[in-house]
Structure 1
Amino acid sequence: MTEQMTRKKINSRIAEEIDRNLRQAFDDMAEQPVPDRFTDLLAQLKSAESTRKGGGEKDA
């Protein structure tokens, strides 16, 4: 039974380390600026939406 408890502790520590590393990787990625191509695309979509709404068409 001691061996089983030791395995659980090791597995728990491994899972905690994986969790910590994943959080760090995603936190680092979330701090990166949004690429220009995405902000340009969002601007195009907003422009198309305002043109559609301003053109007298009814929303579905």
Structure 2
Amino acid sequence: MNASKTSENQPEKGSDDAKIPRRKEAQPEWANGLRKLYDSVVEEPLPDTFKDLLSQLDAKD
């Protein structure tokens, strides 16, 4: 077997296939809860104090 080739289950690094899941496997219930928690945190707005801090840092440049 040639070591430079990747198997069908493992796409080459940097390829677009690496971003696409091969198939949806059954996930434990806690994984669904963790995904929902992560999504809720990502969707939270940026606090004003953090925005102010970023503005101050940008002004120094």
* Class of the TM-score when normalised by the shorter of the 2 chains: 0.5 to 0.7
In the other structure, the counterpart of 2:39 is: 27
Which has the bigger relative contact order, CA under 8 A and spacing at least 6?
2
Aligned length: 36
Indicate the percent of aligned positions where both proteins have the same amino acid.
39
| Structure 1 vs Structure 2 CA RMSD | 1.5
Q: How far 1:29 moved relative to its partner?
A: 1.1
How high is the TM-score relative to the length of structure 1? 0.54
Letter in 1 for 2:37: A
Query: Which residues of structure 2 form unaligned runs of 5+?
Result: 1-25
- Larger helix fraction of residues: 1
1:16 aligns with 2:53: no
Long gaps (5+) in structure 1: 1-12, 50-60
TM-score, normalised on structure 2?
Answer: 0.53
What is the CA distance between 1:18 and its match in structure 2? 1.0
**Which portions of structure 1, spanning 4 or more consecutive aligned residues, are displaced by more than 4 angstroms?**
none
Equivalence for 1:58: none
